[in-house]
Structure 1
Amino acid sequence: MSRVYPYPLIAKEGWPFIIGSLVLSILTAIWCGWWSLPLWALTVFVVQFFRDPARDIPTGPEDVLSPADGRIVVLEKTTDPYRGVNALKISVFMNVFNVHSNRCPIDGKVERVDYFKGSFLNASVDKASVQNERNAVLAVTNTGRPVTFVQVAGLVARRILCYVNAHDILHRGNRYGLIRFGSRVDVYLPEDATALVAIGDKVRASSTVLATLPLHAPPAAAYAPENGANSVDNTTEQADMVKEATDRAAVAAQHVLSQE
């Protein structure tokens, strides 16, 4: 497992909020004393919200990692609305106390990124997947399997940040975005994926394996047996030709000896 995570422990997106709440807390403490305690509590909450710790990162090529901290609220066979194909859907709901940094679930490449405006319903309900503001990343793994992961805004979350674009290379565990103050991430996998989580399970971004994908042989490998068969056929044909020539030589030699 890899622990390489080239980011600070506090997400850079949080510093304006942290500094603002800290300054307000200090000024209130100077003028109002103990009445500033609620603001200090708010400062602590903002700091913990934007924490961004390093995690163990499984390296199995067939593993699909959780893109977010939270709890599994959906695990079902359905249709990937962004690709129009059958899929296994796994949804992770993040409350305000979870780490909200979103991390790449796979090694692969981004095909496209689609953003949709929408409502701000409670992110834990099913209809949030299609009615809320959301940002979908359509990617393909290094083994050629399509995976779609979607940031969905929630009741409190009003800001989706995504830092990847079409044709970008993805590395599992790396940050690709953040959703502020409560939200969810939907992951759509090929329908032959095997889920390793259940509804209600608590998961951690990058370190929890959501599912495994069967590895498909690359196209070139599909022709290997045929090429191998051709090689065997050619070798057999050459052996037959050598045997035939040897037999003819033996017959000729026997004929010459009989004449003598």
Structure 2
Amino acid sequence: MKLHKESTGTIIVASITIAVIALLSIYFLKMWSLVILIPLLIIYGLVFWFFRVPNRDIKDHIENVIAPVDGKVVMIKEVEEDEFIKGKAIQVSIFMSPLNVHICRYPVSGKVIYKKYHPGKYLVAWHEKSSTENERTTVAVESFANHKVVFRQIAGYVARRIVYYCNEGDQAKAGHEFGFIKFGSRMDVFLPLNTEITCKIGDITTGGIDVIAKLKA
């Protein structure tokens, strides 16, 4: 199983911590140490599972908007996007549980024209205000069809580390990685009002694969 590069620090800390607890439990608890060791091994396995990098056949897309993450669609609504669009847009929000793949992918192809990191709170990721009050990043891409699409990584109550690798001027390829969020979080995508939304609330998405919307000419 291939692991994401963001896994290194977490796995080192987890390995040392679990090794110390395991040695102490074996020394002091003897045969009863299994009561502690078995849950520890399960947690250790989940750490590796969280940082997995699945093999996916990413297609080329021009008008399609691709699911940027694995997760569940929790919101589709018309909103005011005040940071970049400065007007009305359709917001599609996808919530990621700690068991989902947490690679963040470009939802559209084009050119990165804006990026900004915002410090903030750590409300639960499905809270509506988390989009504007939580720690987050905002990225805007001008698509090949000249649409401006904004997307936002949002930290949650558990997620405390957001990473994004893109810079203004970079080429964005729908479905390809631009960042990572650790341990449960959310991603919002803001689309033009005339966009055809092809997903619905409750849908389970596969990042880089599923089409969630289609941009109109």
TM-score (norm 1): 0.76
- Separation of aligned partners in 2, 1:101 and 1:58: 17
Query: What SS class does the counterpart of residue 6 from structure 2 fall into?
Result: helix
Unaligned 5+ residue runs, structure 2?
A: 27-32
1:136 paired with 2:138, answer yes
Q: Whose helix fraction is larger, Structure 1's or Structure 2's? A: 1
Report the count of equivalent residues.
208
Deviations 1:152-179 (A, max 9, x none): 1101111111111111111122211111
Q: CA deviation at 1:28?
A: 4.1
Matches within 5 A, 1:227-246: none
What is the match of residue 126 of structure 2? 124
Unaligned 5+ residue runs, structure 1?
A: 1-7, 216-260
- Separation of aligned partners in 2, 1:112 and 1:60: 21
Query: What SS class does the counterpart of residue 79 from structure 1 fall into?
Result: strand
Aligned residue identity for 2:50: F
- Separation of aligned partners in 2, 1:153 and 1:27: 30
- Separation of aligned partners in 2, 1:70 and 1:21: 25
What is the match of residue 16 of structure 1? 9
- Higher radius of gyration, 1 or 2: 1
Aligned residue identity for 2:183: F
Q: 1:152 is matched with which residue: 154, 175, 181?
A: 154
1:38 paired with 2:39, answer yes
What is the match of residue 182 of structure 1? 184
- Separation of aligned partners in 1, 2:123 and 2:20: 36
Deviations 1:99-145 (A, max 9, x none): 11101111111111021111100010111111111100011111211
Q: Are the counterparts in 2 of residues 21 and 42 from structure 1 also a CA contact under 8 Å? A: no
- Separation of aligned partners in 2, 1:158 and 1:25: 21
What is the match of residue 93 of structure 2? 91
- Separation of aligned partners in 2, 1:114 and 1:27: 40
Matches within 5 A, 1:21-100: 21-31=14-24, 32=26, 33-34=33-34, 35-82=36-83, 83-100=85-102
Aligned residue identity for 2:94: V
- Separation of aligned partners in 1, 2:170 and 2:61: 21
Q: Whose strand fraction is larger, Structure 1's or Structure 2's? A: 2
Aligned residue identity for 2:55: A
Aligned residue identity for 2:148: P
Q: Are the counterparts in 2 of residues 21 and 39 from structure 1 also a CA contact under 8 Å? A: no
Aligned residue identity for 2:46: F
Identity %: 35
- Separation of aligned partners in 1, 2:179 and 2:79: 25
After the TM superposition, which of the residue ranges 189-198 and 167-176 deviates more from structure 2? 167-176
Q: 1:209 is matched with which residue: 186, 203, 211?
A: 211
- Separation of aligned partners in 1, 2:186 and 2:7: 19
1:101 paired with 2:94, answer no
- Separation of aligned partners in 2, 1:183 and 1:114: 18
TM-score (norm 2): 0.90
Q: Are the counterparts in 2 of residues 24 and 39 from structure 1 also a CA contact under 8 Å? A: no
- Separation of aligned partners in 1, 2:13 and 2:118: 30
Q: Are the counterparts in 1 of residues 61 and 174 from structure 2 also a CA contact under 8 Å? A: no
Query: What SS class does the counterpart of residue 78 from structure 2 fall into?
Result: strand
Q: CA deviation at 1:98?
A: 0.7
Larger relative contact order, structure 1 or 2 (CA cutoff 8 Å, min sep 6): 2
